[in-house]
Amino acid sequence: MKLMTALVNVALNLSINMDNTQRQYEAERNKMIGKRANDRLELLLQKRKELQENQDEIENMMNAIFKGVFVHRYRDAIAEIRAICIEEIGVWMKMYSDAFLNDSYLKYVGWTMHDKQGEVRLKCLTALQGLYYNRELNAKLELFTSRFKDRIVSMTLDKEYDVAVQAIKLLTLVLHSSDEVLTAEDCESVYHLVYSAHRPVAVAAGEFLFKKLFSHRDPEDDSMPKRRGRQSVNANLIKTTVFFFLESELHEHAAYLVDSMWDCAGEILKDWECMISLLLDEPLPGEEALTDRQETALIEIMLCTIRQAAECHPPVGRGTGKRVLTAKEKKTQLDDRTRMTELFAISLPALLAKYSVDAEKVTNLLQLPQFFDLEIYTTGRLEKHLDSLLRQIREIVEKHTDTDVLEACSKTYHSLCNEEFTIFNRVDIARSQLLDEQVDKFNRLLEDFLQEGEDPDEDDAYQVLSTLKRITAFHNAHDLSKWDLFTSNYKLLNTGIENGDMPEQIVIHALQCTHYVILWSLAKVSEGTSKKEDMLILRKQMRAFCLMCQRYLTSVNTAVKEQAFTILCDLLLIFSHQIISGGREALEPLVYTPEASLQSDLLNFILDHVFIDQDEDSNSTDGQQDDEAGKIEALHKRRNLLAAYCKLIIYNVVEINTGADIFKQYMRLFNEMLSDLGPSFDRSSSAFCGIKELARRFSLTFGLDQLKTREAIAMLHKDGIEFAFKEPNPQGEGHPPLNLAFLDILSEFSSKLMRQDKRTVHMYLERFMTFQMALQREDCWLPLISYRNSLQAGGDDDTMSVVSGISSRGSSVRSKKAKPATGKRKLPEVWMSREQSMQTPIMMPSPHLTSTIMREPKRLRPEESYMGVYTMTPDQQQQHTHPQTPQPQHHQTPMDYNRRGTGLMEDDEEPIVEDVMMSSEGRIEDLNEGMDFDTMDIDLPPSKNRRERSELKPDFFDPASIMDESVLGVPMF
Considering the domain architecture, whether residues 648 and 707 belong to the same structural domain is answered as no
- In 3D, which of 893, 720, 701, 887 has the Cα closest to residue 805? 887
Higher pLDDT, 124 or 321: 124
Higher pLDDT, 711 or 240: 240
If pLDDT is split at 50, 70 and 90, which confidence band does 573 have? very high
Q: What DSSP letter does each residue of 15-42 carry, written as one string?
A: HHHHHHHHHHHHHHHTS-TTT--HHHHH
Sequence-ordered list of residues with C-beta below 8 angstroms from that of 209, at least 6 positions apart, any chain: 190, 191, 194, 244, 260, 261
pLDDT of residue 613: 65
Sequence-ordered list of residues with C-beta below 8 angstroms from that of 763, at least 6 positions apart, any chain: 843, 846
- In 3D, which of 756, 885, 886 has the Cα closest to residue 826? 756
The alpha carbon of 955 is separated from its chain's Cα centroid by a whole number of angstroms, namely: 16
CA–CA dist 200, 31 (Å, integer): 61
CA–CA dist 266, 208 (Å, integer): 15
Q: What DSSP letter does each residue of 666-682 carry, written as one string?
A: HHHHHHHHHHHH-TT--
Average pLDDT over residues 412-429: 92
Highest mean pLDDT among 431-440, 681-690, 844-853: 431-440
Asked if residues 802 and 814 have their Cβ atoms less than 8 Å apart, the reply is yes
Inform me whether the pLDDT recorded for 822 exceeds 70: no
Per the domain annotation, does 737 fall within a domain?
Answer: yes
Inform me whether the pLDDT recorded for 777 exceeds 90: no
Inform me whether the pLDDT recorded for 293 exceeds 80: yes
Considering the domain architecture, whether residues 492 and 577 belong to the same structural domain is answered as yes
The residue length of the chain stands at 973
Q: What DSSP letter does each residue of 345-395 carry, written as one string?
A: HHHHHHHHHHTTT-HHHHHHHTTGGGGS-TTHHHHTT-HHHHHHHHHHHHH
Q: Is the dihedral of CA 55, 56, 60, 61 positive or negative?
A: negative
Phi and psi (nearest 5°) for 890?
-90, 65
pLDDT of residue 930: 34
Considering the domain architecture, whether residues 646 and 521 belong to the same structural domain is answered as yes
Inform me whether the pLDDT recorded for 68 exceeds 70: yes
If pLDDT is split at 50, 70 and 90, which confidence band does 72 have? confident
The pLDDT tens digits for 627-653 are 677 778 887 888 889 889 988 988 889
Per the domain annotation, does 727 fall within a domain?
Answer: yes
Q: Is the dihedral of CA 119, 121, 125, 128 positive or negative?
A: positive
Inform me whether the pLDDT recorded for 865 exceeds 70: no
Considering the domain architecture, whether residues 639 and 508 belong to the same structural domain is answered as yes
- In 3D, which of 670, 778, 654 has the Cα closest to residue 727? 670
Q: What DSSP letter does each residue of 813-842 carry, written as one string?
A: ----PPPPPSSB-PPPTHHHHTTTT---SS
pLDDT of residue 404: 94
Inform me whether the pLDDT recorded for 844 exceeds 70: no
pLDDT of residue 20: 83
Inform me whether the pLDDT recorded for 825 exceeds 70: no
**Range of lowest pLDDT (67-76, 362-371, 611-620, 654-663):** 611-620
Asked if residues 194 and 205 have their Cβ atoms less than 8 Å apart, the reply is yes
Statement: the pTM of the whole predicted model exceeds 0.85: no
Sequence-ordered list of residues with C-beta below 8 angstroms from that of 938, at least 6 positions apart, any chain: 79, 116, 117, 892, 893, 945
Q: What DSSP letter does each residue of 431-495 carry, written as one string?
A: HHHHHHHHHHHHHHHHHHHHHTTTS--HHHHHHHHHHHHHHHHHHTTS--GGG-HHHHHHHHHHH
Considering the domain architecture, whether residues 570 and 704 belong to the same structural domain is answered as no
Provide the CB-side half-sphere exposure for 435 (13 A, CA): 23
Per the domain annotation, does 503 fall within a domain?
Answer: yes
pLDDT of residue 793: 64
Phi and psi (nearest 5°) for 774?
-65, -20
Q: Which amino acid is at 496?
A: G
Answer with the one of 655, 684, 718 that is the final residue of a domain: 655
CA–CA dist 464, 496 (Å, integer): 14
CA–CA dist 326, 223 (Å, integer): 35
Cα 734 to Cα 723, 784, 788, distances in angstroms: 19, 14, 19
Considering the domain architecture, whether residues 647 and 669 belong to the same structural domain is answered as no
Inform me whether the pLDDT recorded for 932 exceeds 60: no
Q: What DSSP letter does each residue of 833-873 carry, written as one string?
A: HTTTT---SS-PPPPPP-B----PPP---GGG--EESS---
Higher pLDDT, 383 or 830: 383
Higher pLDDT, 179 or 309: 309
pLDDT of residue 137: 86
Considering the domain architecture, whether residues 577 and 485 belong to the same structural domain is answered as yes
Considering the domain architecture, whether residues 233 and 300 belong to the same structural domain is answered as yes
CA–CA dist 100, 691 (Å, integer): 59
Phi and psi (nearest 5°) for 896?
-95, 135
Phi and psi (nearest 5°) for 867?
-120, 135
If pLDDT is split at 50, 70 and 90, which confidence band does 669 have? low
pLDDT of residue 243: 93
The pLDDT tens digits for 172-217 are 999 888 778 888 899 999 999 999 999 999 999 999 999 988 765 5
Answer with the one of 257, 284, 317 that is the final residue of a domain: 317
**701 is in which domain, residue-wise?**
659-794+954-972
**Range of lowest pLDDT (440-444, 509-513, 959-963):** 959-963
Give the N- to C-terminal CA distance of the chain in Å, as an integer: 63
Per the domain annotation, does 301 fall within a domain?
Answer: yes
Per the domain annotation, does 735 fall within a domain?
Answer: yes
- In 3D, which of 513, 515, 512, 539 has the Cα closest to residue 525? 539
Maximum Cα–Cα distance across the chain: 129
If pLDDT is split at 50, 70 and 90, which confidence band does 920 have? very low
If pLDDT is split at 50, 70 and 90, which confidence band does 139 have? confident
Considering the domain architecture, whether residues 527 and 641 belong to the same structural domain is answered as yes
Considering the domain architecture, whether residues 576 and 681 belong to the same structural domain is answered as no
Burial of 490: CB neighbours in 10 Å, binned 0-12, 13-18, 19+: middle
Q: Which amino acid is at 193?
A: L
Per the domain annotation, does 296 fall within a domain?
Answer: yes
**Range of lowest pLDDT (202-211, 593-602, 938-947):** 938-947
Asked if residues 719 and 769 have their Cβ atoms less than 8 Å apart, the reply is no
Inform me whether the pLDDT recorded for 504 exceeds 80: yes
Per the domain annotation, does 694 fall within a domain?
Answer: yes
Average pLDDT over residues 696-704: 76
Per the structure, the count of domains in the chain is 3
C-alpha radius of gyration, the chain, whole number = 37
Per the domain annotation, does 845 fall within a domain?
Answer: no
Average pLDDT over residues 772-778: 78
Q: Which amino acid is at 435?
A: L
Asked if residues 644 and 651 have their Cβ atoms less than 8 Å apart, the reply is no
Burial call 551-563: b when 16+ CB within 10 Å, e when fewer: ebbebeeeebbbb
pLDDT of residue 674: 61
pLDDT of residue 713: 87
Answer with the one of 283, 317, 351 that is the final residue of a domain: 317
Average pLDDT over residues 667-676: 64
If pLDDT is split at 50, 70 and 90, which confidence band does 452 have? low
CA–CA dist 747, 762 (Å, integer): 12
CA–CA dist 916, 177 (Å, integer): 27
Considering the domain architecture, whether residues 650 and 759 belong to the same structural domain is answered as no
pLDDT of residue 621: 40
User: Beta strand 867-868 with 896-900: parallel, antiparallel or unpaired?
Assistant: unpaired
CA–CA dist 836, 822 (Å, integer): 29
If pLDDT is split at 50, 70 and 90, which confidence band does 614 have? low
CA–CA dist 358, 369 (Å, integer): 19
Q: Which amino acid is at 947?
A: R
Q: pLDDT > 70: what percent of the chain?
A: 75
CA–CA dist 124, 158 (Å, integer): 13
Q: Is the dihedral of CA 452, 457, 461, 464 positive or negative?
A: negative
Phi and psi (nearest 5°) for 454?
-85, -5
Considering the domain architecture, whether residues 732 and 778 belong to the same structural domain is answered as yes
Residue 664, classed as helix, strand or coil, is: helix
pLDDT of residue 620: 40
Inform me whether the pLDDT recorded for 922 exceeds 70: no
Average pLDDT over residues 290-304: 95
3-state helix, strand, coil in the chain (%, to 5): 65, 0, 35
**Range of lowest pLDDT (121-125, 392-396, 728-732):** 728-732
Q: Which amino acid is at 320?
A: T
- In 3D, which of 650, 657, 638 has the Cα closest to residue 700? 650
Cα 159 to Cα 122, 162, 880, 929, distances in angstroms: 12, 9, 33, 12
CA–CA dist 377, 382 (Å, integer): 5
Average pLDDT over residues 720-729: 86
Cα 802 to Cα 48, 485, 787, 862, 875, distances in angstroms: 80, 68, 16, 12, 16
Q: What is the mean pLDDT of the chain?
A: 77
Contacts by residues 379-385 (CB-CB < 8 Å, ≥ 24 positions apart): 380/342, 380/345, 382/342, 382/345, 382/346, 383/423, 383/426, 385/345, 385/346, 385/348, 385/349
Asked if residues 842 and 774 have their Cβ atoms less than 8 Å apart, the reply is yes
